Amino acid sequence: MRRTYRPYCRLLESESAAPGIRVSLLPQEVPEHLRGSVFDVVAQGLAPVADVSGAERVVRSWTAPGEREDGRPSMESRNPVEQVLSRMDLPGGASFELLSSGMKRRVLLAQALVSAPDLLLLDEPTNHLDVDAITWLERFLVARWSATLVFVTHDRTFLRKLAKRILEIDRGRLYDWSCDYDTFLARKEAAIADEERHDALFDKKLAEEEAWIRRGVRARRTRNEGRVRALEEMRRERGERRSTDGKVKIRIQEGQRSGKLVAELEGVSFAHGDRTIVRDFSTTILRGDKVGIIGPNGAGKTTLLRLILGQLPPRAGTVRLGSNLEIGYFDQLRRQLRDDATVQENVGEGRESVQVGGTSRHIVGYLRDFLFSPERARTPVRLLSGGERNRVMLAKLFARAVNVIVLDEPTNDLDTETLELLEERLVEFEGTVLLVSHDRAFLDNVVTSTIVFEEDGVREYVGGYTDWLLQRPKPEEPERPRRSGGRVRPTAPPGPDGKRRLKPSERKALDGLPAEIEALEGEIGALHQAMSRPEFYRQSGERIAGERKRLEALESRLAAAYERWGELEGRAD
């Protein structure tokens, strides 16, 4: 979807949904009131749902038999909360408050999914997620989600991979495009061209009719009433025509040319306490380079930016900065904005005008370029939406001349048109760009090299995000364990076919394992059924913890039984 559809999402989530339809919403912002373990937060998604068995059926459909990463067959009787936690790789016992913002979003997605909704609403699902989390979410929704999905996003790569239908709000009207995102762009461009041609012909015809009605006495005597009524209808239609929404006007003021060298890092290392952020990293950034930085949330991307800019001294190695650097910084936390000050005060910093391209412009007129009316320019920043705050940051950033632009997650909350315009201006910019972003299309369209936080260190690659995917070392594929899981122990001499023969005690154990497995599965199933009921969580915390430990012990015994059974059965064939 191309614009903001939050009212539409709220409508779908409301009582207007058909009776019996379950609707879940993943909100854009993490609710501040959520407390407790990850398990508890996810379990809240079951509270209004009576048909837990339906949730179990849907969640089970995400995992085909034998698909478990540990090689064991999936257990169909597992509690839906446990199933969702397992499939989404979430630590059920971890404290929700201590998780990163990206992990919190994943937990909230699990909460939305656990009730097996018929309609899943996602409001900007990629905001504040790192690239790995976004690609995981895409794979999950493409491969495992079969119910209806409606999402609001500015992430064009996410749109291209998931959207099969586009709803667009344009000048107060809702348009339904039954196609993917790229087809939508082509059809929309053609529709705009047709509209412009129609409007031009209409305006020409209207001008002719207005000239006719204004002619002299003779013309008025001979005019017919039908033509007059048609003119009145044309005037009404022209009056109701709405122009396209305003677009942000971005102009980057280039400062004096910097030296050829912008920054040089040699053998740089940095750590927070015992946690190493960067180890022995070297790079050279020259004038005109456009460098992207990607990595997991909390990896240290902003820290690396500060090291490159000389704002943090390294623990080891050297950082050398170039000459004549005029740096403009976009801070993802918006710490440069004063919440109680107005938009005008934040951007003007006490001045009534700003210099743009050598010309003095009144601050109110300058802010119109960023879609702030005079009234909105006098609004305190604390009352603005996330997208408006980002536009204030851009207005503040480009109000002065720079030759180095540093952007730390600039794409959150910006609409697609503004993103594309910002891309164009950054590509045209002759200075240097340092860009931290999770927006893969933005990276591909802007940067010339990419610094990546990988599991074994920080590396630099030529090109953008897609180029990194092609160049990065391919992970070794671990051998997928067979259903049996275990290794055959040499407890008996091999038979003629090379297999180890079963001893009598092993044969007896093999005969008894199916009954043991059935009993364990029955006990686990009963425990899962009890844990799926809301009243289970009204017990004391000690009792709940005890039951979870018992469940873990039973599942460990079941896994061992399956492993032993597969091993013995394989040798008995």
Model pLDDT, residue 70: 41
Residue ranges, CATH 3.40.50.300, the chain: 6-172, 261-326+401-471
Burial 176-197 (b: 16+ CB within 10 A, else e): ebeebbeebbeebeeeeeeeee
Q: What does CATH list as the number for 6-172?
A: 3.40.50.300
Residue ranges, CATH 1.10.287.380, the chain: 504-572
For 513-517, what is the mean pLDDT? 79
Q: How far apart are CA 166 and CA 187, in angstroms?
A: 11
Neighbouring residues of 341: CB distance < 8 A, sequence distance ≥ 6: 380, 381
Model pLDDT, residue 137: 84
Model pLDDT, residue 450: 95
Neighbouring residues of 221: CB distance < 8 A, sequence distance ≥ 6: none
Model pLDDT, residue 572: 67
Whether 292 shows a pLDDT value over 90: the answer reads yes
Q: What does CATH list as the number for 504-572?
A: 1.10.287.380
Whether 171 shows a pLDDT value over 60: the answer reads yes
Model pLDDT, residue 66: 40
For 255-260, what is the mean pLDDT? 90
For 336-341, what is the mean pLDDT? 85
Burial 97-123 (b: 16+ CB within 10 A, else e): eebeebbbbbbbbbbbbbbbbbbbbbb
Neighbouring residues of 278: CB distance < 8 A, sequence distance ≥ 6: 268, 269, 270, 300, 303, 304, 307, 314, 458
Whether 167 shows a pLDDT value over 70: the answer reads yes
| Structure-model confidence comparison of residues 492 and 151, the more confident one | 151
Contact (Cβ atoms closer than 8 angstroms) between residue 178 and residue 210: no
- pLDDT tens sequence across 408-419: 888 877 888 888
| Structure-model confidence comparison of residues 313 and 195, the more confident one | 313
Compute the Cα dihedral for 277, 282, 288, 293 and give only its sign.
negative
Whether 19 shows a pLDDT value over 80: the answer reads no
Residue type, 414: L
Q: How far apart are CA 564 and CA 433, in angstroms?
A: 58
- pLDDT tens sequence across 92-148: 888 888 887 667 888 898 898 888 888 999 988 888 778 888 888 888 888 777 888
Structural fold of domain 261-326+401-471: Rossmann fold (3.40.50)
Strands 404-408 and 432-436: parallel
For 470-476, what is the mean pLDDT? 76
- pLDDT tens sequence across 59-72: 444 444 344 444 33
Element (H, E) at 513: helix 504-531
The encoded tokens of residue 231 equal 């003119």
Model pLDDT, residue 220: 55
Model pLDDT, residue 486: 38
Whether 480 shows a pLDDT value over 50: the answer reads no
Q: How far apart are CA 517 and CA 519, in angstroms?
A: 5
Q: How far apart are CA 165 and CA 150, in angstroms?
A: 9
* pLDDT bucket at 563, cuts 50 / 70 / 90: confident
- pLDDT tens sequence across 395-447: 888 888 899 999 988 887 788 888 888 899 999 999 999 999 999 999 999 99
Model pLDDT, residue 52: 41
What average pLDDT does the chain have?
79
Whether 524 shows a pLDDT value over 70: the answer reads yes
For 255-280, what is the mean pLDDT? 91
Nearest CA among 363, 345, 346 for reference residue 354: 363
Whether 164 shows a pLDDT value over 50: the answer reads yes
Q: DSSP E strands: which ranges in 357-418?
A: 359-362, 404-408
Q: How far apart are CA 42 and CA 426, in angstroms?
A: 41
Q: How far apart are CA 299 and CA 453, in angstroms?
A: 7
| Structure-model confidence comparison of residues 70 and 525, the more confident one | 525
Model pLDDT, residue 452: 94
Read off φ and ψ for residue 362, nearest 5 degrees.
-65, 145
Residue where the block lists tokens 């749902």: 49
Residue where the block lists tokens 């996602």: 122
Model pLDDT, residue 526: 75
H-assigned helices in 276-385: 301-308, 343-348, 363-368, 374-377
Model pLDDT, residue 487: 36
Burial 396-422 (b: 16+ CB within 10 A, else e): bbbbebbbbbbbbbbbbbbbbebbebb
Model pLDDT, residue 246: 63
What is the percentage of the chain residues whose pLDDT exceeds 90? Answer: 22
Model pLDDT, residue 248: 78
| Structure-model confidence comparison of residues 84 and 7, the more confident one | 84
Identify the burial level of 497 via C-beta atoms within 10 angstroms of its C-beta, where 0-12 means exposed, 13-18 middle and 19 or more buried. Answer: exposed
Whether 511 shows a pLDDT value over 90: the answer reads no
Whether 165 shows a pLDDT value over 60: the answer reads yes
Nearest CA among 312, 258, 310 for reference residue 286: 258
Question: 286: which strand partners?
Answer: 261
* pLDDT bucket at 32, cuts 50 / 70 / 90: confident
- pLDDT tens sequence across 351-399: 888 888 778 889 898 888 888 888 898 899 888 887 888 888 888 888 8
- pLDDT tens sequence across 189-246: 888 888 888 888 988 988 888 887 777 545 555 557 788 888 888 888 887 776 655 6
Q: How far apart are CA 313 and CA 317, in angstroms?
A: 9
Q: How far apart are CA 265 and CA 317, in angstroms?
A: 7
Give residue 524's region: left, alpha or beta (phi > 0; psi -120 to 50). Answer: alpha
